[in-house]
Amino acid sequence: MQTAQVSGSSTAFIIFGVTGDLTQRKLIPALYELNRTGRLPQPFCVIGFARRDWDDAEMQRNMQAAVVQFARNQPVDAAALQTLLKSMHYVRASFDDGTGYQSLCSLFADLKIENRLYYLATPPEAYPTIIKRLGDAQLEQCTSGWTRVVIEKPYGTNLASAQALDKAVHGVFQEDQVYRIDHYLGKETVQNILVFRFANGIFDPLWNRHHVDHIQITVSETVGVGSRAGYYETAGVIRDIFQNHLLQLLTLTAMETPVAFNADAVRNEKVKVLQSLRPLNGQDVLNNTYRAQYMAGTIDGKRIPGYKEEVGVNPDSTTETYLAARLFVDNWRWAGVPIYIRSGKALPVRATEISIQFKQVPLSLFNWRNLAGDAPNVLAISIQPHEGITLTFGAKAPGPINTIEPVSMNFDYVKTFASEPPEAYERLILDSLVGDATLFTRSDEVLAAWKYTTAILDGWAAQPVSHLPVYEAGTWGPPGADDFIGREGRAWRQLGP
Ligand SMILES: NC(=O)c1ccc[n+]([C@@H]2O[C@H](COP(=O)([O-])OP(=O)(O)OC[C@H]3O[C@@H](n4cnc5c(N)ncnc54)[C@H](OP(=O)(O)O)[C@@H]3O)[C@@H](O)[C@H]2O)c1
C-alpha cells in the first residue's frame, strides 16, 4: 500500500454520519490502522458530523471503543490510537442545518485545513442535502488544497434516481472530485484479477470465446435479512448485490487491457463492458433471470426464520432473496459466452467466487473412467472468505486402472504472503486521500450499471408474479435454480466444504 504523506499541508477527514454503524465498524478502525502504519498524511484530523448530543470528548470515547472492538490487529497500539483520537473534533448538527456547515468553516480556519475529504456515511437520502449545503457554504473547494467527496453505496435505486443524484453531485463537485465507493473493489483478490490477467502473459490468449465455455460469478451469504428487512424489502438481491458488486466483478473479469494502469484508462474499459451487455427487454428478462425467496431452515445448526417471518416484510412480498441471471457481453472477445450470475441470502456457505470454465478438449482421446467430468479445466478466483486462485485440471490417478481425476493448483493469499489481506476500507480510504480513483466507480459506469439493471426491474414490473418459488434456508435455492442453468447442459459450481 502506498502512503499519503505527500503534501505537508493539513488534511481533514470529515465523516458525515460519524455516530453510525459504518463509521464505527469500518472507517475509524481503518483510519487507526493507516495511522498505526504511518500512512496518513500529516497534519491530519478527523471531524465527525451528526445530530447526536456528543462533543469532542464523547466522540473520542466512542471512537476509542470502536477501535478496541474492531481493529483487525490486536492488541491495539495505544500511541497510534491516542494520536488519532487527539485529532478528532465533533460538529453537532442536522444535515439540513446551515449552522453545522458554518461550524465546519470555523474549524477549517482554526485548524488551517487545506485538504478536505468529505465522507458521506449517511442514509442515502441525505446525500443531496449534504452536497447542496456544502455548495451553499462554498465548501466544495479550497484555493490552497484539494477537496474530495466519498459517496457510499447505494448510489440511487434505479437509473432515474441515480441520474438525479448525479445531477445534484455535479451541481457542486467536479467529477474528478467524486469517489463512489464499492468496498468490493478494495479487496485484494479483486485487484488481483487485474494483476493475474494483465501481469501474466499466459492467460490472455485463453481469455476469450475460443477457449472459455462460460463464466459463473457467485456471491452467496449465509445470513438472512435479519434487522435489515425494512431496507431489503425495497432492494432485493438486484439492488443490494447485483447492480454494484456483481456487475463490478463482471467488468474486471471481462474488460479489455487498459492503455495504462490509471483511473481513467481502467474505468474506460470497465464502462465498455457494461455498455456491451446485451440489453434485456420484455420476455427476455423472464427468460434470463430466476428469482426465489427463502423459507425457514437451518444453517450451521442455527434456525433462520423465513423471509416472510421477518419484521418489516410484507406477507405478500415478491422481493427476491435469490437471483440467478444469464448475461452476454456482446463484443468480439465474449460473443456467445454465457455469464451466469447467482446471489442469495440464507444459502449454505458464505462465498464470493468467479469461475472461468474452459471448453472441453476437441476430441476425447482417453477412453478411461473420467472423474473430472466433461469440463475439467476451471479457474476459480475466490474473493471471500478465503482469498485465492485455484486452477483445476484432470490428472491420471496412480494405479493400473486408468482413471482421470480432477486435481488442482492453489494460490492461497494468507499462506503465500503469511498475512491477512488488509481491510478493503484501508485501501480505499488511502486511495481517496492520495487522489487515486482507479478503484472507485465513475459516473458513466454507475449509470451504465443502472441502465442494465433498471431494464430488468422494468421487465419484472411489467410481468408481475403473485409469489416467487421458495427454498429452504441453508440450501442452494429451489430446484428451478438448477434447471435455470441446467437447460443449457451446465451446472452450478459446488462451493463450500
Ligand atoms: N453499515 C455498513 O456496514 C455499511 C456497509 C456498506 C455501505 N453502507 C452505507 O453507509 C451508509 C451509512 O450506513 P450506516 O449503517 O452507518 O448507517 P447508520 O448506522 O444508520 O448511521 C447513519 C448516520 O447518519 C446520521 N444522520 C442520519 N440523519 C441525519 C441528519 N438528518 N442529520 C445529521 N445526522 C444524521 C446518524 O446520526 P445520528 O442519528 O446520531 O444523528 C448516523 O451517524 C449508508 O448509505 C449505507 O448504505 C453501510
**Alpha-carbon distance 427 to 400, whole Å?**
53
pTM (predicted TM-score)? 0.94
Question: Regarding beta strands 403-412 and 470-472, do their DSSP bridges make them parallel or antiparallel, or are they unpaired?
Answer: unpaired
Higher-scoring residue by pLDDT: 143, 175: 175
Copy the grid coordinates of residue 396. 491420471
> Which residue blocks in 435-489 are alpha helix, DSSP H?
443-462, 479-486
Ligand 1 in reach of 17 Cβ (< 6 A): yes
CB 330 within 8 A of CB 338: no
**Alpha-carbon distance 67 to 81, whole Å?**
8
Q: Name the band, by pLDDT with cuts 50, 70 and 90, for residue 497.
A: low
Ligand 1 in reach of 20 Cβ (< 6 A): yes
Among this protein's residues, is 245 annotated catalytic?
yes
Nearest Cα to Cα of residue 247 among 380, 461, 446: 446
Among the listed ranges 211-220, 355-364, 427-436, which one has the minimum average pLDDT value?
355-364
Q: Name the band, by pLDDT with cuts 50, 70 and 90, for residue 3.
A: low
> Which residue blocks in 55-201 are alpha helix, DSSP H?
56-70, 78-86, 98-110, 127-136, 159-170, 188-198
Percent of the chain with pLDDT over 70: 98
pLDDT tens digits for range 130-144: 999 999 999 998 888
Helix (H/G/I), strand (E/B), else coil: 41: coil
Ligand 1 in reach of 53 Cβ (< 6 A): no
Summary count for the chain: helices (H), strands (E): 16, 18
pLDDT tens digits for range 9-56: 899 999 999 999 999 999 999 999 999 999 999 999 999 999 999 999
CA 8 to chain centre: 32
Question: Would the pLDDT of 388 be above 70?
Answer: yes
**Alpha-carbon distance 86 to 119, whole Å?**
20
Question: Would the pLDDT of 401 be above 90?
Answer: no
Question: Would the pLDDT of 100 be above 60?
Answer: yes
**Alpha-carbon distance 5 to 3, whole Å?**
6
- In Å, what is the CA distance from 149 to each residue of 141, 178, 497? 11, 5, 41
Q: Name the band, by pLDDT with cuts 50, 70 and 90, for residue 276.
A: very high
Q: Can you give the pLDDT at residue 190?
A: 87
Residue 419 Cα, ligand 1 centroid: separation in angstroms? Answer: 31
pLDDT tens digits for range 408-420: 999 999 999 988 8
- How many residues make up the chain in this entry? 497
Helix (H/G/I), strand (E/B), else coil: 391: strand
Ligand 1 in reach of 391 Cβ (< 6 A): no
* Mutate which of 18, 19, 103, 122 for ligand 1 pocket (most atoms within 8 A of beta carbon): 122
Residues 6+ apart with CB under 8 A from 353: 216, 217, 218, 380, 381, 382, 383, 493, 495
Nearest Cα to Cα of residue 446 among 211, 251, 172: 251
Residue 12 Cα, ligand 1 centroid: separation in angstroms? Answer: 20
pLDDT tens digits for range 444-484: 999 999 999 999 999 999 999 999 999 999 999 999 999 99
Nearest Cα to Cα of residue 358 among 472, 462, 203: 203
Q: Can you give the pLDDT at residue 470?
A: 98
Q: Name the band, by pLDDT with cuts 50, 70 and 90, for residue 438.
A: very high
pLDDT tens digits for range 259-269: 999 999 999 99
Question: Would the pLDDT of 7 be above 60?
Answer: no
Residue 480 Cα, ligand 1 centroid: separation in angstroms? Answer: 37
Q: Name the band, by pLDDT with cuts 50, 70 and 90, for residue 1.
A: low
